[in-house]
Structures are given as C-alpha cells and as structure tokens.
C-alpha cells in the first residue's frame, strides 16, 4: 500500500472538547446555521457571525490535540508511503499534533479573508465588522471558512488524490454534508479500499468495505498501530 487519504470531521476533535455539529448537543442545536454559516447570514448580521467564530477560535486555542490527531501524525511520520489528511474541520489540531499534509476543504478558523480583494492572513483572536483588510483597507474582512452554499477548497486536487490512493479512511464525520459525503463512492468506483472509523455508523457507513465503531481516541491509534506493524 503506497498512499492513504484520510477524511476527518468534527468527531475527531470531539474528545478535545470542540463541539460537533449534529450530535446531541452539537453546534447546530445551539445556533441556526443559516445565521452563522451562510453568506446571507453574514450579510444580514456580520457582528453575530464574527462573535460565533470568535467564540470557536477561543475554544480552538484552548483545546489540545487528542490521541487520534497524534496517531495520524505518527502515521504520516512512520508510514513508508504517502499520507494526506483532507479535513472538514476548521481547527488546527492536526497541525498542532504534528501532521504536515493537511488540506482544509472548509477553510481555517485561524485564517482571515478579505471579501473585497481576496487577501488571506492569520486571523486575530477577535474579528469585527469594523476591521480593515491589512492589504486593501476595505472593511470587508471575514473568517476564511467555507460556508454553506460556497465551494469547498482544493476540490479538483482532492478528487485526484482520492482516485489515486490505495486506501480511503473516513474518521469522525456523519457523512451528511456533500461533497465530502460522496468521497467514499468516488474512492470505491476507482477501486480504492475504504474504511470508516466513527463513534457510530454514519449516514454513509454501508458504502464502506469496513466500518469500525468507537471513540476516535481509541480506534484511530489502534488502526494506526495495525498499519505500522
Ligand atoms: N469519536 C469518533 N467519532 C465521533 C466522536 C468521537 N469521540 N464523537 C462524535 N463522533 C462522530 C458522530 O457520530 C458523527 O458521525 O462524529 C460525527 C460528527 O458529525 P457532524 O457533527 O455532522 O460533523 P461533520 O461530519 O464534521 O460535519 C460536516 O458540516 O456543518 C458542516 O462545515 C461543517 O465541516 C462540517 C460539516
């Protein structure tokens, strides 16, 4: 086996204390995603959206990578082939655990974007509608996060990697949001082996050749140990 593509979702960061979206006390049970995770919501009330991401940025900075993030960083370091993490998560826990090949298809909490000129920079702890873009000075700054209705990042490259790898592993995602939810079909159609590691059977569980259930901090390190020995 030469290359592994790993898709991660909020479930891999759950045991680091960062909320998931659709679990019992998930973020979308506390906030209306239309208000805080759509371009329309941002246009309606930018201060509310900035407050939502300021709170998530605080949670992210206060959180620490867990054993699942650390295991994936070990896999990248010790596996003789290629390991790529494509994450739906906007936290930086994979990077802080030591992973280097991490593609954030839904953007990053710790990055800011200017809606006027496209400039990107490291987000300050607190963002507000009155901020000016450091490049063009327009008051058009936003979190560099992909909202519903927007196009996720690096999709063409991701599709290429999915078709070319030997194993596709999905960790901690409900499989309810496309295009990520469709990755397992693309991989399977390309003859790629598929494995799901999740707390419980996801919406797409039946599409995987193998499906293991349990907390990521237990089943991800165990799987990595299997691959490396
Ligand atoms: N270990 C493993 N899996 C877990 C754990 C855990 N400790 N806790 C929860 N999970 C699983 C849940 O069973 C669920 O299947 O993680 C998944 C979380 O699903 P969601 O809350 O839907 O999160 P995610 O799949 O990442 O959402 C996808 O939706 O809201 C958008 O852009 C947002 O990136 C997000 C996308």
Give me ligand 1 centre to Cα 4, in Å.
21
The answer to whether domain 1-17+65-106+152-229 has CATH 3.40.50.1220 is yes
- Which residue owns the Cα nearest ligand 1 atom 28? 177
Instruction: Tell me whether residue 50 is one of the annotated catalytic residues.
Output: no
**7-25 per-position pLDDT tens digit:** 999 999 999 999 899 988 8
**143-185 per-position pLDDT tens digit:** 999 999 999 999 999 999 999 999 999 999 999 999 999 999 9
Q: Kindly state if the Cβ of 108 falls inside 6 Å of ligand 1.
A: no
What the block records as the tokens of 186 is 């693309």
Beta carbons within 8 Å of 76's beta carbon, 6+ residues apart: 83, 85, 98, 99, 100, 101
Q: Which of 170, 154, 168 is nearest to 204 (CA)?
A: 170
Q: Which of 18, 23, 109, 148 to probe ligand 1 with, by most ligand atoms within 8 A of CB?
A: 23
Distance separating alpha carbons of residues 73 and 97, to the nearest angstrom: 6
Q: Which of 12, 18, 22 to probe ligand 1 with, by most ligand atoms within 8 A of CB?
A: 22
Give me ligand 1 centre to Cα 130, in Å.
33
**38-75 per-position pLDDT tens digit:** 999 999 999 999 999 999 999 999 999 999 999 999 99
**Does this model's pTM top 0.95?**
yes
Q: Which of 50, 69, 94, 106 is catalytic?
A: 106
Q: What is the mean pLDDT of the chain?
A: 97
The pairing of strands 120-122 and 102-104 is unpaired
CB atoms within 10 A of CB 122: 9
Superfamily of segment(s) 19-62+108-145: SIR2/SIRT2 'Small Domain' (3.30.1600.10)
Give me ligand 1 centre to Cα 22, in Å.
7
CB atoms within 10 A of CB 54: 18
Give me ligand 1 centre to Cα 27, in Å.
10
From the CA of 10, give the closest atom in ligand 1: 26
Which residues of the chain form CATH 3.40.50.1220? 1-17+65-106+152-229
């Amino acid at each position: 086996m030469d290359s592994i593509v790993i898709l991660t979702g909020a479930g891999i960061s759950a045991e680091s204390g960062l909320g998931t979206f659709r679990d019992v006390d998930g973020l979308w049970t506390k906030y209306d995603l239309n208000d805080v995770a759509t371009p329309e919501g941002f246009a309606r009330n930018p201060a509310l959206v900035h407050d939502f991401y300021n709170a998530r940025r605080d949670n992210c900075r206060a959180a620490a990578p867990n054993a699942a993030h650390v295991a994936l960083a070990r896999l990248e370091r010790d596996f003789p082939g290629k390991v790529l993490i494509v994450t739906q998560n906007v936290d930086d826990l994979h990077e802080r655990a030591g992973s280097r090949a991490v593609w954030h298809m839904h953007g990053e909490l710790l990055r800011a974007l200017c809606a006027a000129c496209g400039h990107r920079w490291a987000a300050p702890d607190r963002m507000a509608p009155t901020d000016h873009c450091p490049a063009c000075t327009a008051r058009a700054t936003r979190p560099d996060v992909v909202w519903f209705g927007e196009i996720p990042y690096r999709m063409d490259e991701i599709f290429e990697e999915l078709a070319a790898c030997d194993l596709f592993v999905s960790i901690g995602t409900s499989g309810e949001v496309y295009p990520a939810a469709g990755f397992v079909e693309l991989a399977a159609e390309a003859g790629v082996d598929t494995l799901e590691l999740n707390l419980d059977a996801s919406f797409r569980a039946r599409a995987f050749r193998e499906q293991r259930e349990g907390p990521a901090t237990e089943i991800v390190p165990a799987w990595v140990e299997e691959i490396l020995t």
